[in-house]
Amino acid sequence: AQSVTQLGSHVSVSEGALVLLRCNYSSSVPPYLFWYVQYPNQGLQLLLKYTTGATLVKGINGFEAEFKKSETSFHLTKPSAHMSDAAEYFCAVRIAGNQFYFGTGTSLTVIP
């Protein structure tokens, strides 16, 4: 069975500090991996995705994520948090076919 685990339903960081949002997945086949962000009253927006090739993926707004097959992880990072980064973040995996499996989401708070 496929699943996605996001550790920490709520994460708080100070403005300017490192953002680290964790995502682990389980899959018996190579996955496609995604991070989405949802700002209040908006739809999910794709931050970045890994399909094949380079394991370090850069996305929008300064975010990046690294696919580590040995650790079955795809953690999201940003070197310096900005107030505008406050949102809910979802990790997702696509194994085969057209289904996406999402994690439960991590709400990021940025403290001024």
Binding site for another protein (CB under 8 A): 4, 9, 32, 34, 36, 41-46, 49, 51, 90, 92, 94, 97-105
The first and second tokens of residue 109, run together, are: 């708070």
Q: Given the complex with another protein, which of 73 and 81 has the nearer CB atom?
A: 73
The smaller minimum CB distance to another protein, of residues 4 and 110, is found at 4
Residue placing its CB nearer to another protein in the complex, 31 or 81: 31
Residue 111 burial by CB count (10 A; 0-12/13-18/19+): exposed, middle or buried? exposed
Per-residue H/E/C for 46-69:
EEEEECCCCCEEECHHHCEEEEEH
Q: Kindly state the smallest distance separating residue 58's Cβ from another protein, in Å.
A: 16
